[in-house]
Amino acid sequence: MPEAQRQDYVDSAAEDYDELHETFPAMFRASLFVMCMADFENTLNGLAELFKKAKKLEISFKEIRGEGMERAKIYLKKVARVGFPDELPHWATIKKFSALRNILVHADGRIPAGHRDEALLKKMIGANSGKLRLDRFQRIVLEREFIPYALETLRGLHVEYSARLKKRYRISRYSRR
């Protein structure tokens, strides 16, 4: 095999290896994380809708200023008056997850210079070594250890909030499913 052809083959094999062992798993983890965050937000929105109906409230969570999880939290606390466990460390972490989710979805994982969450995200990456990192293109990469950490954090808030609501309202389930 001529040297140039051999080198092309080696380069191609190296690219294939990189895609199979780094790029594709990282894309899968980012997609999984985004879907978990969407499901969590939908669960909070469903809970807000459930309390709107149960308490016969005139205002919908969609009429509240704000976006996503924060809007649902405000609705549950101030309109439905069912409280929200935003004092838990899980909530502070989940808010950081929301900033991460937004960068993954809207900026291909790259933190734009001067972005409102730039410092927060860089601090988050530094504090989660082994779970998050920047690749050679300065994109945020979710490592294998990040997904269990994120799921446990989301689950932790869900379990605590569910327990509080069950105790207060004697309900067994609040998901729309």
pLDDT tens digits for range 54-67? 999 999 999 999 99
SS (H, E, C) 4-18: HHHHHHHHHHHHHHH
Q: What is the pTM of this model?
A: 0.84
**For the segment 121-169, what is each residue's pLDDT rounded down to a tens digit?**
999 999 999 999 999 899 999 999 999 999 999 999 999 999 999 998 8
The verdict on residue 86 lying in a domain is yes
The verdict on residue 18 lying in a domain is yes
The verdict on residue 88 lying in a domain is yes
Domain housing 85: 3-169
The verdict on residue 177 lying in a domain is no
The verdict on residue 176 lying in a domain is no
- Report the number of distinct structural domains present in the chain: 1
